[in-house]
Amino acid sequence: MNNKTENTTCRFCGIPDDHPRMMIKGQKGFVLWDRNPASDGHCVAIPYRHFDNYFDINDEEVDELWSLVKQAKQIIEEKYHPDGYNIGINVGESAGQSVFHLHIHIIPRYKGDVENPRGGVRGVIPDKKLYS
C-alpha cells in the first residue's frame, strides 16, 4: 500500500492488499465492500492516512477519494444494476460516526427497498425527512 499511516486500534488501518473485501486500490486510498451492507453493493472509500474528520482531508486525498467513489459506482453498476445511490459521510459521534477513520459510504438503492424514499439522506433525522 502507498501513502498509508496506521493506528493499530483502527479497523481500516493496515488492511492488506489481498483482503477479501478489497474492491479498488489507489495511491491515497482504497475501497472495501462494506462488512455490514445496507444494500447489495454497499461499499466504503477510505484514505490510507488515518484521520477521522472529512474536513481534515487534503486536496490530493479528496481528489482521489471522489475518483474512487466514481470507480466503485461503475463496478456496482455492472454487478448490481441499482436504481439510485446515497453517498454519505458521518463526521462526529453526534452524526453517527462509529469508526473514527474517514470513510465515504456508497450505498446503492433499489426501487421498493423502502416504502417512501423521498428525502433520502434527510432521513438521518426522521422527523425532517419529509418536507413540502
Q: Which of 50, 101, 103, 105 is catalytic?
A: 103
Instruction: For residue 75, give every residue at least 6 positions away whose Cβ sits within 8 Å of its Cβ, in sequence order, or none.
Output: 23, 24
Angle at 113 (CA atoms; ends 68, 101), nearest 5 degrees: 35
d(CA 120, CA 124): 8
Does 103 participate in catalysis according to the annotation?
yes
DSSP letter at 12 equals S
Which cell numbers hold the place of 10?
483502527
Q: Write out the catalytic residue numbers.
A: 103
